[in-house]
């Protein structure tokens, strides 16, 4: 018989893997959009992958940190990301 703790660990691992896969799918969609349109901003990310403004900002910051997007503008609506070369 399986220990309940083992089952819980398996469930958490599966859930984590699903969240990572969803996040990666969101990143792929954002990069595809940026490549197609030449730029992407927070509002576009919110609508594209149906996330909050905070999550959209986190996604864009992560893609910037990974070197996949370049940031233009200083703050607020002026900040737009373009595909990295």
Half-sphere exposure (Cβ direction) of 53: Cα atoms closer than 13 Å: 3
Supply the pLDDT for residue 2. 54
Supply the pLDDT for residue 35. 97
Decide: 67 and 53 in contact? Cβ < 8 Å: no
Decide: 39 and 70 in contact? Cβ < 8 Å: no
Once rounded to an integer, what is the mean pLDDT over residues 34-62?
97
Give the percent of the chain with pLDDT over 90: 71
Decide: 63 and 79 in contact? Cβ < 8 Å: no
pLDDT tens digits along 17-36: 999 999 999 999 999 999 99
Cβ burial, residue 68 (10 Å; 0-12/13-18/19+):
middle
Domains of the chain: 4-83 (1.10.10.10)
Q: Look up the pTM and report it.
A: 0.81
Six-digit token string for 58: 């986190």
């Amino acid at each position: 018989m399986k220990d309940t703790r083992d089952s819980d660990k398996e469930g958490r691992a599966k859930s984590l893997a699903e969240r990572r896969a969803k996040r990666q799918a969101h990143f792929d969609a954002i990069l595809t959009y940026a490549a197609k349109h030449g730029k992407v901003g927070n509002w576009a990310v919110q609508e594209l992958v149906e996330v909050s403004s905070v999550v959209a900002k986190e996604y864009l910051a992560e893609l910037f940190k990974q070197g996949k997007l370049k940031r233009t503008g200083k703050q607020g609506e002026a900040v737009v990301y373009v595909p990295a070369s």
